[in-house]
Amino acid sequence: MTCTTCASSQVSYKDPLATQTSVVTDHVTGLHHLLKKEILPAGIDPSIDRLTTALFHIAQLPNVPASAIDGIQAVGFLLEKVGTMALSTEIQNMLHTSLTETITNHVIAVISPHVASMQDTVLALKLPSPLAPPMTSTQSKTLPSPTPDSAPALTPDDLLPHVDSICTSVNTIQEKMPLLEAIHKHLVVTGSGDTLASISTSLDRTEMLVDNVGAGLTLVTEVVNTLLPSLDSTQTQMDILQGCLTSPPPPQTTQSPPAPSHTYSDAVKSPPRSQLVTAALAKVETWTRQVLFTPTPDQTLYTKTTDPGHVAVDIMDFMLTLQDKETPFTNVKSAVCLNNGNLLLELSSAEAAEWMRLEPIRNILSNSLGIDAVVKEHTYTLVVPFFPTLLEFTDLLLLSNIEMENELPPSSFHSIHWAKNPERCKPGQHVAHALLSVRAAEVANALLRDGLYVLRMKLFPKKDRKEPV
């Protein structure tokens, strides 16, 4: 009997794939397969960006299941996100660390020697011991190199108080120099030789020390004046770099062939309209500009043999008599005489069609044509199942009450009637199918989406015909 351990029972996610027959077995054969299918461009190393584009390309191939397309697109978008975040984090960490260390080391290396020289000069001025022997020309030109322990890194703001203190000391010594020279002249006349030699040596040493301090101050001042603009420029560059790191990374430019203006990712995000949808929208837009005239029985407007241009001229001549500044411009684009004697006009705009459908305008037009014609309104018919049979369609307030109950604009409904003869209803039947005609497509779509409330009951209308409303 063998015991199965946890390690032996675990199965890698690649094991089921290894049992399947495929030409792709590793990354080399996988790259060869993508190049052969022209999914990846030849001669360019694969990257996360190119592999993401390849996934969207694969999702567009025919006969790919919908679930596989969703999975491929999800992996593609995640690869884009992970690649962008990883690149931004790597650039930020690399530049921030290396630039900070480089600037710090550079500032310390430049300031430390001059700070050490200035500190030695300050200590020499404060010592109460006898003056040191004068330095030779070789010693004055050679300054001791500072050690890391004796040269702390100071900022230019820390140097300014020391420079001011040294300047005050030098000015005080220079003010005392005329008095010392006067004493020296007096001793030349009255003093002894030994005293004169000692005072002369002290004056020479003091003058040399003052000269050395002045030279050190000049050097420190030049260093500070030179370093401050450099530090300001460095701070400006760091601010610019920080702004670049916090802003989104720009798209990478490669030597690959120019990409198309629309990538596969953009195509998936915004799929194009189908031809059926485009044709349906164009048909609906044409309907809004059409007006249908129906003559009363035993009367005709025009015949099939009538020239459409003649019909358009008659209508235009009449419309010109009604035009004013407030009426929309009206132009008859087409006139069609139907087999049933109706006249179908297509006008230049939906506003002109709405104006011609107004009851005063259509009545005047009917009288000018010499017949009693009716302008049919373009409505949208909805089938309302389970409509209560106790309601009387002859009630003039029925449609208004339904409009108020559903919070619709007045005159939203054109008419309502039963789908079949009420006499054919079974005894005791309380509901039946009704046909509701709606004037506006927006109202019809809202009823299809939200439902219709009648006597506190929610009904669910349906489209009468399979066409966009």
Work out the average pLDDT over 209-235.
66
Identify which has the larger pLDDT, 171 or 84: 84
Identify which has the larger pLDDT, 371 or 35: 35
Judge whether residue 227 has pLDDT over 90.
no
Percent of the chain with pLDDT over 70: 53
Nearest CA-CA partner of 264 in 86, 39, 47, 63: 39
Q: Is 333 helix (H, G, I), strand (E, B) or coil?
A: strand
Amino acid identity at 208: M
Q: Is 52 exposed, middle or buried (0-12, 13-18, 19+ CB in 10 A)?
A: buried
Judge whether residue 434 has pLDDT over 90.
yes
Amino acid identity at 3: C
The span from the CA of 204 to the CA of 266, in Å, is: 86
Work out the average pLDDT over 127-134.
46
Structure confidence at residue 352 (pLDDT): 85
pLDDT digits (tens, 9 = 90+) for 388-398: 988 988 888 99
Judge whether residue 161 has pLDDT over 90.
no
User: Which part of the chain is CATH 3.30.70.330?
Assistant: 275-376, 380-463
Work out the average pLDDT over 320-336.
82
Q: Which of 22-31, 146-155, 353-362 has the highest mean pLDDT?
A: 353-362
Residue 296 CB: number of other CB atoms within 10 A?
Answer: 10
Q: What is the CA radius of gyration of the chain?
A: 49
Q: Which of 149-163, 214-228, 418-432 has the highest mean pLDDT?
A: 418-432
Do residues 382 and 462 make contact, with C-beta atoms less than 8 angstroms apart? yes
Structure confidence at residue 436 (pLDDT): 94
CATH number for the domain formed by residue range(s) 275-376: 3.30.70.330
Residue with tokens 């790259």: 31
Structure confidence at residue 111 (pLDDT): 58
Structure confidence at residue 433 (pLDDT): 93
Work out the average pLDDT over 368-386.
77
The span from the CA of 385 to the CA of 383, in Å, is: 6
**Sequence-ordered strand ranges (E) for 278-355:** 290-295, 332-337, 343-347
Judge whether residue 109 has pLDDT over 80.
no
Structure confidence at residue 252 (pLDDT): 57
pLDDT band at 190 (very low <50, low <70, confident <90, very high): low
The span from the CA of 314 to the CA of 387, in Å, is: 46
pLDDT band at 336 (very low <50, low <70, confident <90, very high): confident
Work out the average pLDDT over 215-232.
66
Judge whether residue 96 has pLDDT over 70.
no
Judge whether residue 7 has pLDDT over 50.
no
Judge whether residue 126 has pLDDT over 80.
no
Work out the average pLDDT over 70-94.
71
Residue with tokens 């027959």: 21
Judge whether residue 338 has pLDDT over 90.
no
As given in the structure block, the two tokens for residue 317 are 């001549």
The span from the CA of 316 to the CA of 302, in Å, is: 16
Judge whether residue 142 has pLDDT over 50.
no
Work out the average pLDDT over 415-429.
87
Topology at the third CATH level for domain 380-463 = Alpha-Beta Plaits (3.30.70)
Judge whether residue 100 has pLDDT over 60.
no
Structure confidence at residue 384 (pLDDT): 95
As given in the structure block, the two tokens for residue 101 are 């260390």
The span from the CA of 365 to the CA of 335, in Å, is: 15
Judge whether residue 98 has pLDDT over 70.
no
CA atoms within 13 A on the CB side of 208: 15
pLDDT band at 69 (very low <50, low <70, confident <90, very high): confident
Judge whether residue 359 has pLDDT over 90.
no
* Contacts with 341 (C-beta within 8 Å, 6 or more apart), sequence order: 294, 295, 300, 301
Q: Count helices and strands (H / E) in the chain.
A: 15, 10
Judge whether residue 141 has pLDDT over 50.
no
The span from the CA of 400 to the CA of 415, in Å, is: 11
Nearest CA-CA partner of 459 in 468, 450, 72: 450
Largest CA distance in the chain: 157
- Contacts of 238-241 with CB under 8 Å at 24 or more apart are 238/99, 238/103, 241/95, 241/99
The span from the CA of 231 to the CA of 103, in Å, is: 9
Amino acid identity at 231: L
Residue with tokens 């703001």: 157
Which helix (DSSP H) or strand (DSSP E) does residue 382 occupy?
strand 380-388
pLDDT digits (tens, 9 = 90+) for 258-313: 554 545 555 555 555 567 767 777 777 887 888 887 777 666 677 777 788 888 88
Which helix (DSSP H) or strand (DSSP E) does residue 458 occupy?
strand 457-459
Structure confidence at residue 63 (pLDDT): 74
